[in-house]
Amino acid sequence: MTSTEQAAPTANNFLRTIIEEDLKSGKHSSVVTRFPPEPNGYLHIGHAKSICINFGLARDFGGRCHLRFDDTNPAREEREYIDSIKESVRWLGFDWGEHLYYASDNFEQLYQWALFLIGQGKAYVEDLNAEEIRSYRGTLTEPGTESPYRTRSAEENLDLFSRMRAGEFPDGTRVLRAKIDMASPNISLRDPVLYRIIHAPHPHVGDAWKIYPMYDFAHGQTDAIEGITHSICTLEFESHKPLYEWFLDNLPVPARPRQYEFARLNLTYTVMSKRKLQELVQLGIVSGWDDPRMPTLVGIKRRGYTPTAVRAFCELIGVGRSDSWIDVSILEECVRAELNESAPRAMAVLRPIKLVIDNYPADQTEELQAANHPQQPDKGSRIIHFTREIWIDADDFMETPSKGFHRLTVGGEVKLRFGYIVTCTSVVRDEQGTVLELHGEYDPASREGIHTADGRKVKGVIHWVSAPHAVTAEVRLFERLFSDPNPDWGGGDYKQFLNPGSVESLSDCKLEASLAGSDAGTRYQFERMGYFRQDPKDSLPGQLVFNRIVTLRDVWSTKK
């Protein structure tokens, strides 16, 4: 019995509908999908959508999903990428089990099938060079012209093709082409190239081959060999579909997979093309593929986003066939939603100003209990220290407050979270007029609640850290990499839209003492500031570096 009867846990989409029908009609008894990256770069959030679709469909319908490296072009592929891709898929939470494949494992079979086509008079060796092939191809509106080599005998083609394989000819001198239709309105049917000569070592099969199949000649056949039932790809492959089917029709393949296309993910405020991401790395605009601002999976991971949140995001945005731009804030919301539940709270002052509480004894320290989560008592509490000198955030003080500001002001009062209500009495400045420290007084009776002695409710609660107990750390605040929602638009240089403030590193942040020996992998909510986690590369015991994963929603900052 299959699990295909289980209720669909997620929103319906056209792919689920197709699969449900195929299962119901008996066209397929189970679902087999595949995620087929080319190992020529790092995976990004767009790939995550594809991974979630393919692995998710297999999971939901009780089938399986293969991880397959589409490694047909050794000129651009590397072992490093193979390893990184596997790691990212695993990080996302998916498991291909035994089903790890390489298109290159099928090279011999593909070669035999090429021979078969030649034998059938359906493929020929082309001597025209790349430029000539292009001009013979015609244009979008004009038919192409048949190559003079199109009518070579099968014997000659066989001889030439085997010599191509043997490495007798230099790169670019000949290709193998399918003989289809030079006048087809679908350009991919105008005698597409099947094999090209590349004298380069291959990351998976070494130097066994001197000729390599093109994507079109490898993909569908590989799908057939693996028994893929639903071969899901992005929209730009739609025009290749007739070619995909032509090979299945003309070759003795063992199965009949079908291709379906969906709209790739576009995200606002980011670029997704491998070329551009690579450029950002090469130009040093970001620190690497895993820079926390990058939309790569390694970047997102280092930033502190969770796989659960990324998966939730992929579910949320759905799957369709119309070009769409997803607002990056939806991704951020998914991260917040999860972290709000899971992250223990802590207090950290990012831009410290000292507040001296003049009526608090200089030699006194109180241990206060602070809940680790406001809605989850089972998460327990921790001790924070209250002393005469504390740090508060510069953003929480205004000498001349703007309208609606209900934090600390001179003469004003504010509740220190888990502590006392304090009033600011004076500001100490240096000769330049910059604020050195604040002085204030506390109300000893105000430990509980937010009411003053005369029963008024204070409107503001701010976070703070005991100065003698504070741990100094570096905190990196990340913003979107681009300041324009569509840096790719207009045909101009996307780099002109780079956000100059996409990272701000604060080196003198004051963290509560409990964070000193905390687990490096824990994601915290620094109350009122956002979610943070130690940077997995740069944070050291005694020299902590925290990354801001995402801010809290902040109505005040958007209103003021």
Positions marked catalytic: 38, 264, 274
Least distance in angstroms from the C-beta of 540 to RNA: 27
Which token pair is 130? 């790349």
Q: How far apart are CA 525 and CA 549, in angstroms?
A: 10
144/352 with CB nearer RNA:
144
> Least distance (Å) from RNA to the CB of residue 290?
22
Transcribe 9-60 into DSSP letters.
Answer: -S---HHHHHHHHHHHHTS-SS-EEEE---SSS--BHHHHHHHHHHHHHHHH
> Order of strands across the sheet with 193-197?
123-126, 175-178, 193-197, 211-213
CB of 287 to RNA, least distance (A): 26
Q: What sign for the dihedral angle of Cα 164, 170, 173, 175?
A: positive
Type of residue at 420: Y
What lies within 8 Å, CB to CB, of 240 at 6+ separation is: 188, 216
Q: Please give the C-alpha separations between residue 297 and each of 266, 301, 310, 405, 508, in angstroms, as whole numbers.
A: 15, 6, 10, 39, 30
Residue closer to RNA by CB (options 112, 129) is 129
Q: Alpha helix (H) ranges present in 192-306?
A: 215-226, 241-250, 274-282, 297-303
> Considering beta carbons, is residue 236 or 437 the nearer one to RNA?
236
The least distance separating RNA from the CB of residue 281, rounded to whole angstroms, comes to 19
Smallest distance from the beta carbon of 276 to RNA, in angstroms? 13
- The minimum distance between CB 307 and RNA, in angstroms, equals 19
Beta-strand relationship, 193-197 and 211-213: antiparallel
Nearest alpha carbon to residue 368 among 353, 356, 384, 380: 384
Nearer to RNA, 263 or 435 (CB): 263
Residue with tokens 């199949």: 213
DSSP 494-510: GGGGB-TTSEEEEEEEE
Three-class DSSP category at 213: strand
* Residue closer to RNA (CB basis): 126 or 291: 126
> Which of left, alpha, beta for 170 (phi over 0: left; psi -120 to 50: alpha)?
beta
Minimal distance, residue 303 CB to RNA, in Å: 18
Cβ proximity to RNA: between 158 and 200 the closer is 200
Shortest distance (Å) from residue 215 CB to RNA: 3
Give min distance, CB of 255 to RNA, in A: 20
- Cβ nearer to RNA, comparing 290 with 396: 396
Structure tokens at 486: 């569509």
Between 36 and 46, name the residue whose CB sits nearer to RNA. Answer: 36
Is residue 242 within 8 A of residue 270, CB to CB? The reply is: no
Transcribe 422-476 into DSSP letters: EEEEEEEE-TT--EEEEEEEEETT-SSSSB-TTSPBPS-EE-EEETTT-EEEEEE
- Residues 470 and 468: their CA atoms lie apart, in Å, by 6
Rank residues 25 and 558 by Cβ distance to RNA and give the closer one. Answer: 558
* CA–CA distance, 524 with 529 (Å, rounded to integer): 10
